[in-house]
Amino acid sequence: MLLSGGAVFDPVPEAVTMDAAARMLGVSPEDIVLESQSQDTGQQLMFILKKIVTLLLMPMSLCLGVLGVGILLLWVRRRIGAAKIVLTLGFLVLTALSFSAVADPFIKPLELWYPPLLDAGRLKNVNWVVVLGGGHASNPEFPANAQLENPSLARLVEGIRIHP
């Protein structure tokens, strides 16, 4: 079994090469392109830009940014009234989004776009299930499942559940 993020688990030997992994999976090694092998500077720049924009649009980042602006306004003594308003707004939005009763209505429309696959038996012609990594901590003293972080473990269990 292979997992992304550089972790390789049994029954695959640890020293497996990309060519050997491709042969085991029944694909041509030329068909496998790792993200780190991309040489296009434009693609790398867009990847970095996407990560920055994503970070800036996250609710926590937005709220912390508003709180930071409020703190900066506090240092400008003539703007204490504006600082109070900005700090209060940032704190209230952060607090409100921390409660599921407020956050769930924002998330629900996104979750409805991709309903869960409850009947895995419908997947008759699927040969492979790709499990994307969600984090791991490499430590040879721990078993493979203890090296996976919770998101990776949940994804792996789901991949095993839906594999035909």
The predicted-structure confidence for 15-35, as pLDDT tens digits, reads as follows: 455 566 666 666 666 655 554
Whether the full predicted model's pTM is greater than 0.85, yes or no, is no
Quick one: pLDDT at residue 20? 65
Residue 91: band (very low, low, confident or very high) from pLDDT cuts 50, 70, 90: very high
Angstrom distance (rounded) from CA 32 to CA 72: 49
What are the φ/ψ torsions at residue 52 (nearest 5 degrees)?
A: -65, -45
Domain spans, the chain: 1-37+116-164, 39-114
Quick one: pLDDT at residue 89? 92
Mean pLDDT score of the chain = 77
Helix axes 59-75, 80-97, angle to 10 degrees: 160
